[in-house]
Structure 1
Amino acid sequence: MATHKSTSLTVDDYEFPRGAKGLATVVGAALFVLSTRRQFIEPRSVIHDHILARSITAATYSKTVQDVIFYWFLGVHGAGTAHFAYTKLQQYNVKLTSMAWFQWILTVFLGGSAAVKHFDDFVEKKEVKAVKDI
């Protein structure tokens, strides 16, 4: 794994995570979407009718839990994404205006640490390829 403070390697492309890291990104995106809309926990929704309607306690606290999930996700993933942008993306010379920058930022925001690990693996593959090409 790359541990340098600066590098001559430039990341100008993007690769969506695969396997467990891709699944974590998709689950994170789904959780974020579910936490943003009240309609997912209101009566006549699948979540309400099959899960929340069975417990008065669950129905009572569902809005609070949804809010906590949303704000936790927004805060933790937002801070992690900002840290990723200012450290890793700058370290590997990803241009702020490039499509790759936007794709990596969105993937890290939705996927969290799994997406950051994927970026590290992606960079390591590029470094190995660059060394082999020399």
Structure 2
Amino acid sequence: MSKPVPQPPKNLRNTYIAPRPPYLRPIIICGAIMALSSRREVISPGSPLYDYALSHLSATGLKYASWVQSGLFYFLFGAHAIETAVFTKRLAKHGVQVSSLSWWQWMATCFVGGKYCFVHFDREVGKFD
């Protein structure tokens, strides 16, 4: 058996390709979780989450809920920032220049969607592994 011949990288020529299903939904969910983790009002008195779930917790439980929210915030924003930095190499390899609008669109999508943007991008450039 012969090895498959590696294909040259597909050149996107500064083109942004918006995510479509099945990648769109997880990217939107990631963005929503990131937005909710950044707002302390989500677990404060008066919010639906507090009124229906957290109001039944003790003071210690509320403190843990606050830690969970902070942990989600730092984990998601930190991990997505690192993923976005790594993603710049993929964009350069596939013909998306830093000075282009499409570069910024890809960066925003990657920051919000993280891993799911990588999968979407790989499908668009023809890398299915």
TM normalised by structure 2 equals 0.84
Aligned partner of 1:82: which letter?
A
1:104 corresponding residue in structure 2:
106
| Mapping of residues 10-21 of structure 1, within 5 Å | 10-21=12-23
Structure 1 contact 11–123 (Cα < 8 Å) conserved: no
Q: How far apart, in 2, do the equivalents of 1:58 and 1:17 lie?
A: 38
Q: How far apart, in 2, do the equivalents of 1:15 and 1:24 lie?
A: 16
Q: How far apart, in 1, do the equivalents of 2:55 and 2:93 lie?
A: 50
| Mapping of residues 1-134 of structure 1, within 5 Å | 7=9, 9-56=11-58, 57-85=60-88, 87-124=89-126
- How many corresponding residue pairs? 121
Aligned partner of 1:115: which letter?
C
Q: How far apart, in 1, do the equivalents of 2:121 and 2:61 lie?
A: 38
Superposed structure 1 runs of 4+ greater than 3 Å apart: none
Secondary structure of the residue aligned to 2:23 is helix
Runs of 5+ consecutive residues of structure 2 not aligned to the other structure = 1-5
Structure with bigger helix share is 1
RMSD over aligned Cα, in angstroms? 1.9
1:132 corresponding residue in structure 2:
none
